[in-house]
Structure 1
């Protein structure tokens, strides 16, 4: 994966969503010199350090582009899909989707939990998962669209409710 390794560049990290490169340094560990990136997630106060040559293996990727936004909107508007009836299986499946790092898979989690919440009360675990997935999705959606997170949240809510949004 060819990526811009410059301070201030935004990437997407599985589980954490959008991250900004805050530092780049060369470290010698075990006699091997490697470039390390320090990443700051936009959703929390963590500081993540990873070797630059392992970004792809970890699942770090660029923000979605216009085509990615359009396909994400389609996913959010898809009809409700069949889910496992068992809460623990559904929770595990959604957790795996979040761990994938794919904004489209995160979109599926947001869509399905949002729709489930419209007809029934979500469990505490599912509420927390919805909040986490929604935060990851909205942050990337806002950055990719060049709008505020508040505007992105409102657009995502309208999309989930069935409104058509033009990109």
Structure 2
């Protein structure tokens, strides 16, 4: 059972109609805030529409920030991310499985600078040594 709320802003997080970024799905638009009954409890959720994938995602308002959902990046943050991409790749001498976990955590964080670090580190020039799989 859902009930749409007419409010334009919920808890100061996101506006209805605002574009947001959600990890693993990309850019979507907050279309509504609903109250849903789940397992006998009432939950307030953001309804996020991803037009490219024709996907509707419902994110609990209490967990929106911790799930990595964020507003679009500012011009300053995009500039910082581009500087990070232009920097020198950091070579980590750890096991590939540990690096993969670190990269996945950075990607899923939703932090644009962290994502740029992963792209920079994985895009190595030909003169840089290959990394060990062990």
TM over 0.5, shorter chain = yes
Check whether the contact 1:75–1:104 (CA below 8 A) recurs between aligned residues. Answer: yes
Check whether the contact 2:78–2:112 (CA below 8 A) recurs between aligned residues. Answer: no
Tell me which of 36, 40, 44 is aligned to 2:45: 36
Correspondence 1:4 to 2:11: no
Give 3-state SS (helix, strand or coil) of 2:36's partner.
strand
2:3 is matched with which residue? none
| Count of aligned residue pairs for this structure pair | 118
Normalising by structure 1, we get a TM-score of 0.58
Whole-angstrom distance in 2 between the partners of 1:97 and 1:42 = 25
2:65 is matched with which residue? 56
Q: Deviations over 1:2-44 (max 9, x none)?
A: 22330x3111223333222233322244564443222234664
Whole-angstrom distance in 2 between the partners of 1:25 and 1:85 = 45
User: Cα offset for 1:105?
Assistant: 0.8
As a proportion of its length, which structure holds more helix?
Answer: 1
Normalising by structure 2, we get a TM-score of 0.69
Whole-angstrom distance in 2 between the partners of 1:17 and 1:111 = 20
2:103 is matched with which residue? 94
Question: Is the radius of gyration larger for structure 1 or structure 2?
Answer: 2
As a proportion of its length, which structure holds more strand?
Answer: 2
Q: Deviations over 1:75-101 (max 9, x none)?
A: 111111122353323222211111211
Tell me which of 22, 39, 46 is aligned to 2:31: 22
Q: Unpaired segments of 5 or more residues in structure 2? A: 1-10
Give 3-state SS (helix, strand or coil) of 1:109's partner.
helix
Give 3-state SS (helix, strand or coil) of 1:104's partner.
helix
Whole-angstrom distance in 2 between the partners of 1:99 and 1:12 = 11
Whole-angstrom distance in 1 between the partners of 2:84 and 2:51 = 24
Q: Please report the RMSD computed on the Cα atoms of aligned residues, expressed in angstroms.
A: 2.7
Check whether the contact 1:14–1:102 (CA below 8 A) recurs between aligned residues. Answer: no
Whole-angstrom distance in 1 between the partners of 2:102 and 2:118 = 9
Q: Deviations over 1:110-141 (max 9, x none)?
A: 11222x2x428x9xxxxxxxxxxxxxxxxxxx
